[in-house]
Amino acid sequence: MWRRAVCSQLKTLGAAGGKASSSSLPSRFRHADRSFIYPVASSSLFNRYFSADGALKKPVEDVMPIATGHEREELEAELQGKDILDINHPVGPFGTKEEPAVVKSYYDRRVVGCPGGEGEDEHDVVWFWLEKGKPIECPVCSQYFVVSVDACFETSSNMYIDY
């Protein structure tokens, strides 16, 4: 109830454009703050500082200064069009004894899963250890695999580091 009375008086004061002197104001509004008398100015100020529009439209470039560590590496790679994780499984021709499927690794040994071939040749994934220099045949579909060691660098203790 009191809001209607105050708002209606404020609207009439706002419509007058501030031409009313302090003596023409009712006694309860004589010492009122100017931003209280003109609510339009205070509402635009509120919208300017507390609007949510800016928070929703942040491109990667705006986040980069605060990103650190692995998140920063991912964002930089995304800007260059690369996938830093590169966890997509290798796809290639069916491995035969003459031309086995080559699996890259940083180590001399690696766990490999064989999902079989396409269509009817597909089977449940069979997991096995693949070692350097020893081709392995899948016991279900007879696909051959070999490991290719591609180390990024070697440490002094001859251990390959995967990062």
Domain boundaries, the chain: 2-50, 89-163
At 128 the pLDDT is: 93
**138 marked as binding residue:** yes
Residue 141 is assigned to a ligand binding site = yes
CA dist., res. 51 & res. 41, Å (int): 15
* pLDDT of the chain, 163 residues: tens digit per residue: 555 555 565 566 555 554 545 555 555 555 555 545 455 555 555 555 555 555 566 665 666 678 888 888 888 888 888 877 766 566 677 888 899 998 888 888 989 998 887 888 889 999 999 999 899 999 998 899 999 887 553 444 444 444 4
- CATH architecture, domain 89-163: Sandwich (2.60)
- Residue 131 confidence (pLDDT): 92
Amino acid 159: pLDDT: 46
**Confidence at residue 145, expressed as pLDDT on a 0 to 100 scale:** 92
Does this model's pTM top 0.85? My answer is no
Nearest CA to 99 among 144, 148, 147, 149? 144
Instruction: Yes or no: say if 28 and 6 are a contact pair by the CB < 8 Å rule.
Output: no
Does 114 appear as a known binding residue? yes
Q: What is the pLDDT of residue 20?
A: 47
